[in-house]
């Protein structure tokens, strides 16, 4: 049994971790923190967990030693506490952005703030399991990737590795409201958020840095950009990626590259059907699952290779991916606790 605690459990990522870990056969949840809900039952914030757990939120100051500490704080917070936290747990999985980028200068350029704990940066392994499985198995510190970064890296990795595309890569991301976390703002206020198709970040998305970090070892000319649009969806993330196939590249070669890299991956499905309603990946049917669905189409007229990737931002995009990493760190089958196949219709 792994004795775990969650620092920042009243948020959306922490709540999803709680949901997954309460059903995990090898985990005991020791403590979960919230400052605003300290002393209150977790089911107050996560009503889906009524009768599933009688845990009560603790204040972060009361955190005790445990085997594995999950951190689900807003970006820029965990680096303030890390020196103390690493004395509390032998292993740490941080879902935030503070330890995703290996270079301090890259973090400071993209996040426009000073890194307060740069000496720990190189100790963290980037948590896309499909790319870093062996390192994660041996690691004590894992950085949970960003959700746009996760789905984009997984969608592009085989194409970049097998040298099938060239030139600029444009990632058009459709984002859900839960990506912004629990804290309300004017832009998340119902009259302002409901029904939107809002250009949220046409350029300069910070997850670009993670994509460059992870894919540039496979290409010396990686040129990638994200344009993100907030749409009317609570959970889920869809990326439509426009790439230029190298001269002569066929659909068959694209299939071959995806099969070579993902044929044995439990959580990646290539979705490219000739018929039916769900011919390409769609976040709607991935809600609550740890799958990343990837599809593609060759546009021979405009000479594009269009890739479509979908995940649940709170599962494969954060909490589920973190549990997948935890399973590896403790030698459990990777799918443990993550078997939920999703719902249809939903």
Ligand X SMILES: NC(=O)c1ccc[n+]([C@@H]2O[C@H](COP(=O)([O-])OP(=O)(O)OC[C@H]3O[C@@H](n4cnc5c(N)ncnc54)[C@H](OP(=O)(O)O)[C@@H]3O)[C@@H](O)[C@H]2O)c1
Indicate which single residue of 43, 75, 104, 106 sits in contact with ligand X (rule: CB under 6 A): 75
In whole angstroms, how close is the CB of 9 to ligand X at the nearest point? 6
Asked if 292 is an active-site residue, the reply is no
CB-nearer residue toward ligand X: 189 or 259:
189
Cβ within 8 Å of residue 31, ≥6 positions away: 5, 6, 58, 62, 63, 64, 66
**b (16+ CB within 10 A) / e for 172-211:** bbbbbbbbbbbeeeeeeeeeebeeeeeebbeeebbbbbbb
Cis before 266 (ω within 30): no
User: Where does residue 218 rank: exposed (0-12), middle (13-18), buried (19+ CB within 10 A)?
Assistant: middle
Q: Does 281 bind ligand X (CB under 6 A)?
A: no
Total binding residues toward ligand X, as defined by CB under 6 A: 31
Q: Which is nearer to ligand X, 11 or 283 (CB)?
A: 11
Restricting to residues 181-210, which ones interact with ligand X according to CB under 6 A? 181-183
Instruction: Tell me which residue has its CB nearest to ligand X.
Output: 11
* Span 25-54, contacts to ligand X by CB under 6 A: 34-37
Q: Per-residue string for binding with ligand X, 106-145, x by CB under 6 A?
A: ----------------------------------------
Which one of residues 2, 13, 169, 171 is an interface residue with ligand X (CB under 6 A)? 13
Q: Which two tokens stand for residue 264?
A: 């044995």
Cβ distance to ligand X smaller for residue 44 or 270: 44
Distance in angstroms (rounded) separating the CA atoms of residues 98 and 248:
41
Nearest to 9 by CA among 65, 92, 69: 69
Is the Cβ of residue 139 or residue 321 nearer to ligand X in the bound state? 321
The helix (run of H) or strand (run of E) holding residue 29 is: strand 27-32
Q: Which is nearer to ligand X, 45 or 257 (CB)?
A: 45
User: Could you give the maximum distance between any two Cα atoms of the chain, in Å?
Assistant: 63
- Closest approach of Cβ 182 to ligand X, in Å? 3
Among 2, 5, 9, 160, binds ligand X (CB under 6 A): 9
72 vs 241 by CB, closer to ligand X: 72
> 240 phi and psi, to 5 degrees?
-110, 115
In the set 20, 55, 147, 311, the catalytic residue is: 147
- Check the CA dihedral 59-60-64-69 and report its sign: positive
Q: How far is CA 108 from CA 69, 102, 115, in A?
A: 25, 11, 6
Among 73, 131, 151, 233, binds ligand X (CB under 6 A): 73
Stretch that binds ligand X, among 22-30, 72-80, 216-224, 280-288 (CB under 6 A): 72-80
Q: Which of 21, 92, 96, 171 binds ligand X (CB under 6 A)?
A: 96
Kindly report the three-state secondary structure assignment for every residue of 216-285. HHHCCCCEEEEEEEEECCCCCEEEEEEEEECCCCCHHHHHHHHHHHHCCCCCEEECCCCCCCCCCCCHHH
Binding site for ligand X (CB under 6 A): 8-14, 34-37, 60, 72-75, 77, 95-97, 146-147, 178-179, 181-183, 313-314, 317-318
Active site positions, annotated: 147
């Amino acid at each position: 049994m792994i004795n775990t605690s969650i620092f920042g459990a009243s948020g959306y990522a922490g709540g999803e971790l709680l949901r997954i870990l309460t059903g995990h056969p090898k985990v005991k949840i020791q403590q979960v923190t919230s400052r605003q809900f300290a002393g209150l039952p977790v089911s107050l914030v996560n009503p889906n967990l009524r009768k599933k757990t009688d845990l009560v939120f603790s204040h972060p100051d009361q955190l005790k030693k445990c085997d594995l500490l999950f951190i689900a704080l807003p970006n820029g917070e965990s680096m303030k506490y890390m020196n103390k936290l690493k004395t509390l747990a032998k292993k740490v999985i941080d879902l935030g952005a503070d330890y995703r980028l290996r270079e301090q200068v890259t973090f400071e350029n993209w996040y426009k703030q000073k890194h307060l704990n740069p000496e720990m940066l190189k100790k963290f392994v980037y948590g896309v399991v499909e790319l870093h499985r062996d390192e994660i198995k041996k690691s004590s510190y894992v950085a949970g990737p960003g959700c746009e970064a996760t789905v984009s890296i997984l969608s592009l990795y085989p194409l970049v590795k097998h040298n099938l595309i060239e030139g600029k890569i444009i990632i058009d991301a459709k984002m859900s409201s839960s990506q912004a976390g629990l804290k309300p703002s004017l832009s998340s206020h119902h009259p302002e958020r409901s029904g939107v198709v809002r250009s949220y970040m046409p350029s300069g998305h910070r997850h670009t840095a993670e994509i460059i970090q992870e894919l540039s070892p496979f290409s010396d000319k990686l040129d990638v950009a994200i344009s993100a649009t907030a749409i009317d969806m609570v959970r889920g993330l869809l990326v439509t990626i426009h790439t230029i196939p190298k001269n002569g590249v066929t659909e068959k070669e694209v299939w071959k590259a995806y099969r070579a890299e993902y044929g044995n991956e439990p959580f990646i499905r290539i979705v490219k059907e000739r018929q039916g309603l769900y011919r390409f990946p769609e976040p709607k049917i991935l809600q609550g699952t740890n799958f990343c669905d990837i599809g593609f189409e060759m546009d021979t007229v405009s000479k594009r290779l269009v890739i479509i990737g979908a995940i649940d931002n709170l599962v494969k995009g954060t909490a589920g991916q973190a549990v997948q990493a935890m399973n590896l760190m403790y030698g459990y089958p990777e799918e443990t606790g993550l078997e939920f196949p999703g719902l249809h219709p939903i």
